[in-house]
């Protein structure tokens, strides 16, 4: 298994709000944990690198990239004003460097996976799945996973599957791949009838209810049966949404066993599952 990260990404922080919830400690905690638990001794660590601007352009507009690049020369008041034009993002003078590192690490991991067939984990920030082609959003600057997916396609893969289990819908990822039928997105998120952020209609699809057994992560790791509200058709833009209902309350359910997740997907979705299963996952 591969692991890739870089402490330089800790330099991305909010200069004017020390209580901002997207903080360097999110990555620092991961790095400290893998160090203390000696996980790094059992994995192959890859060398981090920055993505080139040309690689970022596989997903983002040149104009937006140049806007973020300009922030490396801005003062704090200018940075705050610049950030305010986007929804829920902040930038400082190190953000552009950190964002290039985040995307570059994702690309390096894809290369290693394609070269060896082994899985890996990229611990990176700023995050990416809310970032649109022409603007940042929701703490995200560049859409790292779509950049990595586009890179995999460029390397010769015919299809890529992205599985997103964040509690918020990755509307940025959805927008970035909408015109590329080679990329499929499965998003497991909280929708709450459109009242949960990002509060977009396109985060939902027509549903039907089925019962499946999934492994629910708890102290006892008990197996429970939950009602799952999920799509039976792949939408036109290539996305599939799974919304979980537990005890008649709407909450996202995080499946921690990959084989059980695949079984659930196989049972729930009327799509060419064989094609998706044999495509590259990033």
Q: Is 60 a catalytic residue?
A: no
Burial level of 159, CB count in 10 A (0-12/13-18/19+)?
middle
Closest of 268, 226, 221 to residue 245, by C-alpha: 226
Share of the chain residues as helix, strand and coil, in percent rounded to the nearest 5 = 40, 20, 45
Instruction: Please identify which of the residues 12, 130, 151, 189 carries the catalytic annotation.
Output: 130
* Buried/exposed 182-213: b ≥16 CB within 10 Å, e otherwise: ebbbbbbbbbeeeebbbeeeebbbebeeeebe
Q: What is the 3-state secondary structure (H, E, C) of 217-250?
A: CCCCCCEEEEEEEECCCCCCCCEEEEEEEECCEE
- Annotated active-site positions, please? 130
């Amino acid at each position: 298994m591969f692991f890739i990260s870089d402490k330089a990404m800790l330099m991305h922080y909010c200069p004017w709000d020390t209580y901002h919830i997207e903080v360097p400690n999110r990555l620092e905690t991961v790095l400290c944990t893998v160090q203390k638990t000696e996980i790094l001794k059992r994995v192959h660590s890859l060398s981090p690198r920055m993505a080139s601007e040309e690689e970022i352009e596989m997903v983002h507009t040149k104009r937006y990239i140049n806007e973020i690049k300009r922030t490396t020369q801005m003062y704090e008041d200018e940075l705050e004003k610049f950030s305010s034009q986007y929804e829920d993002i902040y930038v400082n003078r190190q953000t552009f460097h950190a964002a290039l590192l985040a995307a570059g690490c994702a690309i390096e991991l894809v290369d290693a996976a394609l070269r060896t067939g082994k899985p890996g984990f990229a611990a990176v920030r700023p995050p990416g799945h809310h970032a649109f082609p022409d603007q940042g959003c929701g703490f995200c600057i560049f859409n790292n996973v779509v950049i990595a997916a586009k890179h995999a396609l460029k390397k010769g893969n015919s299809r890529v599957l992205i599985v997103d289990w964040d509690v918020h819908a990755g509307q940025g990822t959805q927008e970035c791949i909408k015109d590329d039928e080679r990329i499929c997105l499965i998003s497991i998120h909280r929708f709450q009838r459109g009242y949960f952020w990002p509060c977009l209609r396109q985060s939902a699809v027509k549903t039907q209810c089925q019962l499946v057994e999934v492994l629910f992560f708890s102290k006892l790791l008990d197996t429970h049966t939950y009602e799952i509200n999920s799509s039976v058709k792949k939408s036109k833009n290539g996305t599939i949404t799974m919304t979980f209902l537990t005890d008649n309350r709407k909450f996202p359910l995080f499946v921690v066993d990959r084989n059980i997740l695949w079984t659930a997907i196989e049972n729930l979705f009327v799509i060419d599952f064989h094609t998706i299963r044999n495509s590259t996952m990033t």
